[in-house]
Chains A and B, each alone.
Chain A
């Protein structure tokens, strides 16, 4: 069950826990992981929710516009009420996957955003009213614990003193996705990309943080984002590799046909320390 969020002030770097009976994520997509993107969201929040157990849906689908990724079409899996797989955590807008499949018509995107928000807000209120324990029922020890986890991670980032430049890694990741996970994809190149992402993840921990300041440190924020972007890139490529068909605007040159018998389904991914767990059982109805 979701009991609130931990947020960090980007100027004084203070960490703060916001206990809550329900949380609605409206944090946008993750198209920024590509090298040439038109959006500006890095997807830290969705990736964090995914790492903490929320199911991700359709990570492989990205809307392209003249080779620039416009929006990520996938996001956190949500039900009809816009609740994610974690009770009490809701998602709407670019960070939720509900209305778009493998491509989206431009006017449908704001429509989905507006409807999603309307739906998620009402559902969150309903969820809170239906609960027995209310009024931020998060114990003080849990609050402390949540804060400590983030502090620990922050210290880890500050202690990173490797030789690699993290911005170079980000550039490599972006170019990698741009070439291998663009409009046209292919098994062999996706496999190569997946391997590269795994090595990028290792190299990330051999990189060094470029700024140790405790005030307005954009590098710390960048390190946080990059660590999560690598996770998202991983499931994006892994899912693209699994989906052996061409659908919407996504072309698999080795599987040029659309295959409704096997692949008319959602790609659901859940985090596991070993490797992501895929589930293709949720079919898309014809209605």
Chain B
């Protein structure tokens, strides 16, 4: 049986959004098969740098600790991953932790992902209802439709796809690859079809379309096939714009 060992950890730290970042190194003793999140939690028990200086515990977002909420996405050795599912034993040392680059840093590894939610607001991802009345049971979905919506609704808004997309950065109007999953889901909902053209029109605005997927689907912790979804939506938008050109 393997015993505890010392792990070399490097964290990019930043006091507040306006501060400059700096590196801090740690040596943390961990038992086998621990996740990066457990490593960070262990650090709180002894917040002392590798040089022996006391410091503040590393600030990071975490909620469910079981890959359901998407809060703990960060760059681990340069790759975007979830801290709660990445095993310390499986990655190279020193383990380098950085905040996601696509979003403004709040503090240390915590980032502000509001832009992802703002992007969803413009896409009409809801069904308009006029007043409240008992409209009976809703339309039925085929098992295939159900599976499609269930697969797309797994999106946790973790931001991994935005991080992987070269098109998503501070000076780009691109709404983000995650939006495609949400739009694709709503467009195929029996009730969502009604506003489909409005969503496609929104996607035709600057920053609406994704050029290519560039590994977004590879990094998605929920395994949403964003490449297929994006390609499908791009076809739909193309067909829609041609139709609109001829028929108004």
Binding site for B on A (CB under 8 A): 11, 38, 40, 165, 167-168, 171, 210-211, 213, 215-216, 218-219
Contacts and interface: CB of A to CB of B under 8 A. Distances in A.
A261 B238 CA distance: 73
Contact of B59 (A40, A165, A168, A216): A216
- Tell me the interface secondary structure of chain A in the complex: loop
Contacts of A218: 57, 59
A190 B41 CA distance: 28
Contacts of B16: 215-216
A211 B16 CA distance: 14
B5 interface: no
B64 A213 contact: no
A225 to B, nearest CB: 13
A218 B40 CA distance: 13
B107 A215 contact: yes
A216 B46 CA distance: 20
A38 B66 CA distance: 8
Contacts of A213: 15, 56, 107
B135 interface: no
A74 to B, nearest CB: 22
Contact of B45 (A38, A171, A216, A219): A171
Contacts of A219: 56-57
B63 A40 contact: yes
A210 B59 contact: no
Question: Which of A38, A211, A213, A218 has the most chain B CB atoms closer than 10 A to its own CB?
Answer: A218
Contacts of B45: 165, 167-168, 171
Nearest to B106: A216
B62 to A, nearest CB: 9
B110 interface: yes
Contacts of B59: 216, 218
Contact of B57 (A11, A40, A210): A210
B85 to A, nearest CB: 15
Interface residues of B, number: 17
A165 B46 contact: yes
A218 B58 CA distance: 9
Nearest to B60: A218
A173 to B, nearest CB: 13
B114 to A, nearest CB: 12
Contacts of A210: 44, 47, 56-57
A38 B67 CA distance: 12
Contacts of A215: 15-16, 107
Nearest to A168: B45
A29 to B, nearest CB: 14
6 tightest CB-CB pairs across the interface, nearest first? A216-B107, A211-B56, A167-B44, A215-B16, A167-B45, A40-B64
Interface string B94-111: 000000000000110010
A249 to B, nearest CB: 22
A219 B108 CA distance: 14
Contacts of A211: 56-57
